Amino acid sequence: MAQGTIGTSEFDRDTAIARRAPGTSAVFDADLSAGWTIGHAVNGGYLLALLGRALGETLRHPDPFSITAHYLSASKPGPALIRTEQIRASRTLSTGQATLLQFDEDGAEVERIRVLATYGELDALPEDVRTTAKPPALPPYERCLSSEDGDPSTTPEIAGRLDIRLDPATAGWAIGAPGGQGEMRGWFGLADGRDPDPLALLLAVDALPPAVFELGVTGWVPTIELTAHIRSRPAPGPLRVSVSTRNLAGGYLEEDAEVWDSQDRLVAQSRQLARVLRTS
């Protein structure tokens, strides 16, 4: 496969948007690719990246510092419309909202996702770092498990777009032996080799299998709400992602993700509220 680069990769092609008119309230046409699905559902992180791109083209500042998505109904591959609005802009930060719409059989609008976000400029931040968090301890890439090590009949479409290698210590669920820890760790890259940027981090925070698979939960774990903080522009090279759930209760769970770049910098932190439909 040819080396993907920022701007021309599969990810950039499938998150491309076409703006209808300029201004601080904007409308974009998008086409949700069937290449980023898990079963019938389009991946939430891919959709967040698409909305993040539209907000980046609308707001005064380019980079998502904090972005929250509420997933209202399941998106389907095909045409979609994104509406964005700048709510406020100061010298250093701007806040906006976005909505992703599709159309039903009668042509009526169906809202899929509502987003609220504050953007800034990552490259303008001072260099100071006082992080007490530690990168996940992961075996080397070549000793971790790819989707090709699993059952091909259950491999989702999105697996062909991603290069995810799971730590074998957190992959027991894949052979029916969940480890019981509520953690998932792995290497993350785009399959075509494109380097990470802030938009790819929005994909990375929701790309690993749900951490609750290691607690015996199976099937679809739909996201109700996901918030991601992008804390630094990622260095080139593979990312390490750790995902954990500490409070599975009342049929809901939180899932926290941390994304570390090749320079050991904590580049993204996210939390989502998700719903359990099935427990084995």
Q: Is the Cβ–Cβ distance between 170 and 185 less than 8 Å?
A: yes
Is 264 one of the binding residues for a copy of itself (CB under 8 A)? no
Of 15, 75, 84, 269, the one binding a copy of itself (CB under 8 A) is 269
Toward a copy of itself, which CB reaches closer, 31 or 254? Answer: 254
Stretch that binds a copy of itself, among 64-72, 135-143, 147-155, 200-208 (CB under 8 A): 64-72
Comparing CB distances to a copy of itself, the nearer of 33 and 95 is 95
Contacts of 103 (CB under 8 A, 6+ apart): 79, 109, 110
274 vs 50, 134, 247, CA distance in Å?
21, 25, 11
Closest CA relative to residue 81, chosen from 11, 19, 10, 158: 19
Judged by DSSP in three states, 70 sits in strand
| Alpha-carbon separation of residue 208 from 72, 93, 107, 164, 246 (angstroms) | 21, 30, 34, 8, 17
Q: How far is 142 from 183, CA to CA, in rounded Å? A: 20
91 touching a copy of itself, by CB under 8 A: no
CB of 64 to a copy of itself, least distance (A): 11
* Site for a copy of itself contains 131 (CB under 8 A): yes
Q: Nearer to a copy of itself by C-beta: 208 or 274?
A: 274
Choosing from 130, 152, 153, 176, the residue that interacts with a copy of itself (CB under 8 A) is 130
Of the candidate residues 15, 58, 170, 232, the single one contacting a copy of itself (CB under 8 A): 232
Which residues touch 28 (CB under 8 Å, ≥6 apart)?
17, 18, 19, 20, 54, 57, 81, 82, 83, 84
Residue of 128, 142, 148, 151 that binds a copy of itself (CB under 8 A): 128
- Residue 106 is a binding residue for a copy of itself (CB under 8 A): no
For the chain, the first-to-last Cα distance in angstroms comes to 38
Q: Does 66 bind a copy of itself (CB under 8 A)?
A: yes
**Residue 237 and residue 187: Cα distance in Å, rounded?**
10
201 counts as binding a copy of itself under rule CB under 8 A: no
Among 125, 145, 159, 235, binds a copy of itself (CB under 8 A): 125
Is residue 97 within the footprint of a copy of itself (CB under 8 A)? yes
Tell which one of 5, 246, 264, 277 touches a copy of itself (CB under 8 A). 246
> How many Å apart are CA 80 and CA 258, to the nearest integer?
30
Rank residues 104 and 130 by Cβ distance to a copy of itself and give the closer one: 130
Residues 165-184 that bind a copy of itself (CB under 8 A): 182
- Quick one: 226 exposed, middle or buried, by C-beta within 10 A (0-12, 13-18, 19+)? buried
CA distance 242 to 236: 19
* Element containing residue 141 per DSSP (H, E): none
Interface residue list for a copy of itself (CB under 8 A):
65-66, 68, 70, 72-73, 87-88, 93, 95, 97, 111, 114-118, 122, 125-133, 182, 215, 224-225, 227, 229, 231-232, 246-252, 254, 266, 269, 271, 273
